[in-house]
């Protein structure tokens, strides 16, 4: 059920120089959201949204004032990275995002006690009925693409699905998760004399973790799709039983993940990201081309028909 909810900022933590974790008290979203869904967040202060203007000139003059963030009229989509439905943190959610523009700059400056307007949860998430049937899973994240994948990883582990998580970034400094040195090498990768890296919050879920950087100084250097390719060849497409592949990140990376999965006859679900206008399917600004079962091509809205799709449906070579 999509609902407009006024959330309260509980904690603002700078994860890296460009990544921020924002913990919010948002009971409705915390209770209703499913892995893969997102929220639309209004970056404009609530006092701007509630204000009345005398005429168009007054409105335009006010929205040009940077301190009021008035130019940011559209809401921004953010994945529900974590949510708590029990315990002392019940009713809280967390969004993990990269600071890239005016909207995320404004969110990164929010302080505990500030109010934010949310719309959510929105979208079609991962196929959880299928997930429960899996014996193993491979989750491939590119950069901040790990944000919407974390709830899925937690769900897989809750249902005893053996899970390998591969997270790629340009360098250690660009990794959206807190990493630590590790001497544990992955069984399907060649041993290295230097330290590898791991992510504690993923290890605590019981996952096997592979951290890959393109321009790193230690650990596995290269692309996350290269690690995926080695794993699939090493295991001949995964372990016994049914293996699922899941991915979110740059479009080129997701296309490569989909290709590798198809070569091994594995079903792959992708979480697509796109700029959005309304976020509820009315404006048609975030469409993608999907090939239907009968062979016809249709434009689907990423916000409500997705953001999760079967990789085999996505027409990767067409924007």
Largest CA distance in the chain: 69
% of the chain at pLDDT higher than 70: 87
pLDDT at 240: 54
Residue 105 sits in the same domain as residue 153: no
- Cβ atoms < 10 Å from Cβ of 131: 18
> DSSP labels for 132-162?
TT-SEEEEEEEGGGGTTTHHHHHHHHHTT-E
> Residues 46, 114: contact at Cβ < 8 Å?
no
262 has pLDDT over 90: yes
pLDDT band at 226 (very low <50, low <70, confident <90, very high): very high
Please tell me the total count of domains within the chain: 2
- The distance of Cα 135 from the centroid of its chain, to the nearest Å, equals 23
Residue 198's CATH number: 3.40.50.80
The span from the first CA to the last CA of the chain, in angstroms, equals 30
Residue 105 sits in the same domain as residue 62: yes
> Residues 177, 18: contact at Cβ < 8 Å?
no
Q: Which of 122, 143, 174 is the last residue of a domain?
A: 122
Residue 117 sits in the same domain as residue 137: no
DSSP letter at 237 equals S
Residue 39's CATH number: 2.40.30.10
> Residues 83, 29: contact at Cβ < 8 Å?
yes
Tokens of 115: 């109010």
Residue 235 sits in the same domain as residue 188: yes
In this structure, is residue 10 part of a structural domain?
Answer: yes
The string of pLDDT tens digits covering residues 101-154 is: 888 888 999 999 999 999 999 999 999 999 999 999 999 999 999 999 999 999
The string of pLDDT tens digits covering residues 186-196 is: 888 875 656 78
Residue 95 sits in the same domain as residue 175: no
Altogether, the residues listed in the chain come to a count of 319
21 has pLDDT over 80: yes
> Residues 238, 266: contact at Cβ < 8 Å?
yes
Backbone angles phi, psi at 124, to 5 degrees: -100, 120
Which helix (DSSP H) or strand (DSSP E) does residue 182 occupy? Answer: strand 179-182
Pairwise CA distance, residues 128 & 132, whole Å: 6
Residue 69 sits in the same domain as residue 168: no
Taking the alpha carbons of 19, 306, 44, 63 in that order, is the dihedral positive or negative? positive
Residue 142 sits in the same domain as residue 266: yes
The string of pLDDT tens digits covering residues 141-157 is: 999 999 999 999 999 99
Q: Which of 101, 122, 143 is the last residue of a domain?
A: 122
pLDDT band at 53 (very low <50, low <70, confident <90, very high): low
Residue 142 sits in the same domain as residue 105: no
In this structure, is residue 297 part of a structural domain?
Answer: no
Instruction: Using alpha carbons, list the distances in angstroms from residue 204 to 19, 34, 199.
Output: 21, 21, 9
In this structure, is residue 296 part of a structural domain?
Answer: no
pLDDT at 121: 94
In this structure, is residue 21 part of a structural domain?
Answer: yes
**Owning domain of residue 55:** 3-122
In this structure, is residue 11 part of a structural domain?
Answer: yes
- Cβ atoms < 10 Å from Cβ of 6: 12
Residue 90 sits in the same domain as residue 50: yes
pLDDT band at 65 (very low <50, low <70, confident <90, very high): low
Residue 56 sits in the same domain as residue 74: yes
Pairwise CA distance, residues 54 & 62, whole Å: 11
Residue 90 sits in the same domain as residue 145: no
Q: Could you tell me whether strands 162-169 and 208-213 are parallel, antiparallel, or unpaired per DSSP bridges?
A: parallel
- Mean of the per-residue pLDDT values of the chain: 87
Which helix (DSSP H) or strand (DSSP E) does residue 117 occupy? Answer: strand 115-122
48 has pLDDT over 60: no
pLDDT at 11: 95
DSSP letter at 170 equals S
In this structure, is residue 303 part of a structural domain?
Answer: no
In this structure, is residue 190 part of a structural domain?
Answer: yes
Q: Which of 58, 93, 122 is the last residue of a domain?
A: 122
In this structure, is residue 314 part of a structural domain?
Answer: no
pLDDT band at 58 (very low <50, low <70, confident <90, very high): low
Pairwise CA distance, residues 104 & 91, whole Å: 23
> DSSP labels for 285-302?
TTEEEEE-TTS-EEEEET
Residue 259 sits in the same domain as residue 143: yes
Residue with tokens 């995964």: 238
pLDDT at 278: 83
């Amino acid at each position: 059920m999509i609902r407009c909810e006024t959330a309260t900022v509980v904690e603002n933590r700078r994860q890296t120089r460009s990544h921020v974790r924002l913990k919010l008290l948002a009971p409705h979203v915390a209770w209703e959201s499913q892995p893969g869904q997102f929220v639309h967040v209004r970056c404009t202060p609530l006092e701007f949204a509630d204000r009345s203007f005398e005429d168009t000139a007054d409105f335009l003059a006010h929205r040009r004032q940077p301190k009021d963030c008035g130019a940011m009229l559209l809401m921004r989509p953010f994945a529900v990275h974590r949510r708590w439905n029990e315990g002392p943190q019940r009713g809280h959610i967390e969004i993990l995002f990269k600071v890239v523009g005016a909207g995320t700059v404004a969110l990164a400056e929010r302080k505990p006690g500030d109010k934010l307007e949310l719309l959510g949860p929105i979208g079609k998430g991962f196929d959880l009925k299928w997930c429960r049937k899996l014996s193993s899973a491979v989750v491939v994240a590119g950069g901040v693409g790990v944000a919407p994948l974390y709830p899925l990883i937690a769900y897989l582990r809750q249902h005893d699905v053996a899970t390998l998580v591969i997270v790629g970034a340009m360098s250690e400094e660009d990794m959206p998760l807190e990493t630590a040195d590790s001497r544990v090498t992955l069984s399907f990768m060649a041993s290295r004399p230097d330290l590898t890296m791991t992510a504690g919050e993923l290890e605590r879920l019981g996952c096997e973790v592979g951290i890959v950087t393109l321009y790193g100084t230690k650990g596995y250097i290269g692309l996350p799709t290269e690690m995926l390719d080695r794993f699939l060849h090493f295991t001949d497409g995964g372990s016994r039983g049914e293996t699922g592949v899941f991915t979110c990140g740059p479009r080129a990376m997701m296309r490569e993940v989909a290709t590798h999965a198809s070569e091994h006859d594995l079903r792959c679900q992708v979480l697509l990201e796109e700029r959005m206008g309304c976020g509820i399917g009315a404006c048609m600004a975030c469409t993608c081309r999907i090939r239907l079962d009968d062979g016809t091509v249709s434009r689907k809205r990423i916000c409500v028909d997705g953001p999760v799709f079967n990789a085999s449906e996505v027409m990767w070579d067409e924007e």
